[in-house]
Chain A
Amino acid sequence: MNGQNYNARRRSTFLAITKPAVLPAVGIILAGCGRAHSALSPVSPEAADIARIWWIFFVVCAAVYIVVALLVVGARWCRGNSNSTAGIPPPLKVEASQELRTERIVLWATVVTALILVSLLGADLWVQRGISPRNDDPLAIRLTGHQWWWSAEYQDPNPSRVFETANEIHIPAGRSIRLILESNDVIHSFWIPQIHGKKDLIPGHPAEISFRVDKPGKYDGFCAEFCGYQHAHMGLIVVAEEPAKFEQWAQAQRTEAPPSLTDSQKRGREIFEHASCSLCHTANGTMARSRVGPILTHVASRSMIGAGVLPNTRENLAAWLVDPQIAKPGAMMPPNELSKADLNALLDFMETLK
């Protein structure tokens, strides 16, 4: 086989594969520029600092790149105009004055490079200091990563005010938040690009980060460390809201499941407590007190099911209950065989968990 031919064929195959992929790839990359998931549209002072340092690095590095590129092109251009025999480099002429000049240039270039690096390091440390733990009476939340969902426990000096939720955390805008990050199975990583940088959750080694979100809104978070089959579907929603509204929400989260009123709700509660649900889940105020699955005391108040997999509607919940493996293959929750009446009863009951 002719080597050149082979190479040409390889190149054309490569192009054939890549050409149609270029457009979508560009599209995907550009999608990252959307504000919702971008570290460059910060909503907390910490993320703003991180965005700023990102811009500083970007501008400085870009400038250095351009200068270096220009110099390289310039050097090539100068050399191209000199009277040398094609292909044979001219013998090096060593002139004392020339040598001194070169040395000086190299020296200055080194100094400038060092200065730039040291200033970048300084800026980095400065930002680091800026995002150090907050001590201004932060709201402490213990966030635990699981395969593949999040549990959040809101701390309080008064234990009866401690409460737990999952996959969707509400925080008061304008107040410092301290997250204690833990994991109970494998290493996960916490990342809400608009709020803070990444932080790993390592089993047995609690880590902490703190921040303050000034702008009320809904922010998406992810697991940023590959943690198994459904790593990509391990979403976390942060809802920052006015303090009064947050208090209202927190107070509601502290309440127990309401009494079941209709026959259908009662039947649903029975299924919830005595069939498989209670083997993994908790709903305060019921017999279900297990902790390997997300707490469901107020599941109806959340916007998504399955850690960001499906919007929380009755239809989606029904589909999820019957077979979570369709929406989230590999999830720890098994398919459930439920009659139509039982499924409806269970949904009726779960809708009361607001």
Chain B
Amino acid sequence: MARAQSPAATDWPIAAKDFSNQRFSTLDQISQTNVASLKLAWSFDVGVRRGQESAPIVANGTMYVITPYPNILYALDLTQSGKVKWKFETAQPDPMSRGEACCDYVSRGAAYAEGKVFFNTLDGQTIAVSAETGQQVWRRKLGNIHVGETMTMAPLVVKNRVIVGNSGSQLGVRGWIAGLDINTGEIAWKAFSTGSDSDCLIGPNFHPFYDMDRGKDLGLATWPGDQWKLGGGTVWGWISYDPELDLIFHGTGDPASWNADVRHGDNKWTSGIFARRPDTGEAIWYYQYTQHDLYGHDGINESVIADLVLESGKPARKVLLHADRNGYLYVMDRTSGEVISATPFVRVNCSKGVDLKTGRLIFNDEKKPIMGKVVRDIAPAAPGGKDWQPSAFSPRTKLLYLPHQTLAMDFEEVEVNYIAGTPYIGAHAKFYADPVSPGDGSMGAFTAWDPVAKKPVWNIKEHFPVWCGALVTAGDVVFYGTMDRWFKAVDARSGKELWRYQVESGIVGQPITFLGPDGKQYIAILSGVGGWPGVVVSNDLDPTDPISAHGFGEAMKDLPKYTGKGGRLYVFSLP
């Protein structure tokens, strides 16, 4: 049995580096002045040429890389330029799961804790592997692939709980989050996103800030009939944890189906955020970003933990920074769930703002979908102002670095049929570059946002959506990648591009940094295009169908001209 080691502060043990989800590294060897001389140190072919959305993780001199389906886990020895230490190939997800994953069959990363590496498989298993030997410690089947339940998120380990959630809102899956025992994989608690209070682990200590989220069994009462059973609200995104408050914060996915006519009401507890106790899963507060989500804007984006002085002279507040798919950047009080501010960070015309008194999103009736009618120019489109791709926050610059997209869409509701294990969507959508803002045909943006002043500080436009996470370091350098194969470093304060490197395939992953065993700072990123927009390439779609890829076909029709499939890890360092 391997000795449990705790990772050093200069490691990168989970996808988001630490519980705060800031993706900020204190390493500063690579800085604005020398980043231009960054060179490839070594690279590694992961052998799977699908969307590489995962973050490599680093602990105790070893890097762990999880591939998309068939979910191979590699341990790479950092003392020997990434020589394979061991390879865990026996996850062997059910091949059927490839037909169930809505948006390419990705994985968003593994997690290291207490000598074990934890990851989820596409067919809904959570597996713990010994970090030292690569032997399986336990595995637990959690999802039913035959109703479309997959698992793509990166687990979070808090204390003795491995916290995981499911994917598949678009197939009418009922969402849940579960806490597993770190040593045995036993399910310690499981909280659903729809259904009765007891199913959702809502008890006497549940105190949401707004009236709209208070009441008994809202997970039943805000749905017609038993529609909540197919209600979506899957937990496929990021979880953050505040040890001081002992709360985890996790978003819930969009309600199923996209055809909102079949699910009148607010559809609790979808498209919102829960604060829960990690030990028991008990809900403490909840806030719903989008009530009765009309456009597939789900609420799973990361909530970055920070302490910010919002008004000069006043003490710093414990906040969450959350750029939601509905286009608003929320600054929330993480102790209570109060929304302090909600500011649009992209063009938003499907809603008119957030009422801070009631917490409700004010929808724009002009853009309300009607069965049988094509509603044009809805902004933001279904993937939202920003999707899962995680932002980074630098405590040095006090800026939030947002990789995101600027898309609008045409949307038409159609009759929806539930056939277990097939998409449960009920809408046709077609995304395109937002014609107004920016209006120049660009679909992606990388924005540095000042959450106190509630405005952007700088902005970089990209042709394709920036479907890659962000990384910021104490050297005041921000890293991100693009779908047209560039990996870039920009100045954290001015946004000036300092360095770029062309990789084999488009980047949809998450950059990380770590201190190698040789004492040098390294930057790592996986390339390999895929994910929702990248599936156009990774699944060889026919770009003459504009609604392919759940609406991304039109916008991504040129992607094959820029990138092919890939699956390669790149590690950079200063010479």
| Cβ-defined contact, A280 with B417, below 8 A | yes
B222's partner among A159, A184, A185 (CB-CB below 8 A) is A159
| Cβ-defined contact, B372 with A182, below 8 A | yes
**Interfacial residues of chain B within 242-265, with CB under 8 A of chain A in the complex:** 262-265
Complex: how many Å from CA A290 to CA B414?
12
| Cβ-defined contact, B373 with A205, below 8 A | yes
* Chain A residues near B38 (CB-CB < 8 A): none
Interface check B418, CB cutoff 8 A = yes
Complex: how many Å from CA A206 to CA B266?
22
Interface check B226, CB cutoff 8 A = yes
Interface check B4, CB cutoff 8 A = no
| Cβ-defined contact, A292 with B221, below 8 A | no
**Interfacial residues of chain B within 61-105, with CB under 8 A of chain A in the complex:** none
Closest-CB distance, B233 to chain A (whole angstroms): 15
Complex: how many Å from CA A290 to CA B418?
5
Complex: how many Å from CA A159 to CA B418?
20
**Interfacial residues of chain A within 219-240, with CB under 8 A of chain B in the complex:** none
Interface check A162, CB cutoff 8 A = yes
Interface check B419, CB cutoff 8 A = yes
| Cβ-defined contact, B370 with A204, below 8 A | yes
Interface check A2, CB cutoff 8 A = no
A173-204: CB near B (< 8 Å → 1, else 0) gives: 00000000011110000000000000000011
Interface check B439, CB cutoff 8 A = no
In the complex, the chain A residue whose C-beta lies closest to that of B222 is A159
Interface check A122, CB cutoff 8 A = no
| Cβ-defined contact, B221 with A290, below 8 A | no
Per DSSP, chain B at the interface is: loop
| Cβ-defined contact, A160 with B415, below 8 A | no
Interface check B223, CB cutoff 8 A = yes
| Cβ-defined contact, A289 with B372, below 8 A | no
Interface check A246, CB cutoff 8 A = no
A204's partner among B172, B225, B372, B417 (CB-CB below 8 A) is B372
Interface check A291, CB cutoff 8 A = yes
Interface check B409, CB cutoff 8 A = no
Interface check B230, CB cutoff 8 A = yes
| Cβ-defined contact, B221 with A291, below 8 A | no
Interface check B420, CB cutoff 8 A = yes
A285-322: CB near B (< 8 Å → 1, else 0) gives: 10111111000000000000000000000000000000
Complex: how many Å from CA A291 to CA B417?
5
Instruction: Report the interface size class on chain B.
Output: 20 to 34
Interface check A254, CB cutoff 8 A = yes
B412-426: CB near A (< 8 Å → 1, else 0) gives: 001111111000000
| Cβ-defined contact, A183 with B372, below 8 A | yes
Q: Tell me the count of chain A residues lying within 8 A, CB to CB, of chain B.
A: 29
**Interfacial residues of chain A within 145-160, with CB under 8 A of chain B in the complex:** 155, 158-160
* Chain A residues near B419 (CB-CB < 8 A): 278-279, 290
Complex: how many Å from CA A205 to CA B265?
22
| Cβ-defined contact, B371 with A182, below 8 A | yes
In the complex, the chain B residue whose C-beta lies closest to that of A273 is B420
* Chain B residues near A289 (CB-CB < 8 A): 172, 230, 417-418
In the complex, the chain B residue whose C-beta lies closest to that of A293 is B417
A159's partner among B223, B415, B417 (CB-CB below 8 A) is B223
* Chain A residues near B420 (CB-CB < 8 A): 287
| Cβ-defined contact, A292 with B225, below 8 A | no
| Cβ-defined contact, A184 with B372, below 8 A | yes
Contacts A289-B230, A291-B417, A292-B417; A160 near B224 (Cβ below 8 A): yes
* Chain B residues near A164 (CB-CB < 8 A): 224-225
Interface check B173, CB cutoff 8 A = no
Q: A160-B224, A164-B224, A284-B225 are in contact. List 8 more A-B contacts (CB 8 A).
A: A159-B265, A163-B225, A203-B373, A204-B373, A204-B374, A287-B420, A289-B418, A292-B415
* 17 residue pairs bridging A and B, Cβ less than 8 Å apart: A155-B264, A159-B223, A159-B264, A160-B220, A160-B224, A162-B224, A162-B265, A163-B224, A182-B371, A184-B415, A204-B370, A206-B370, A256-B225, A278-B419, A280-B417, A289-B417, A289-B418
Sort A-B residue pairs by CB-CB distance and give the 9 closest, nearest first: A159-B265, A204-B373, A289-B418, A290-B417, A203-B372, A162-B224, A159-B264, A204-B372, A284-B225
Q: Which residues of B does A touch, CB under 8 Å?
A: 172, 220-226, 230, 262-266, 370-374, 414-420
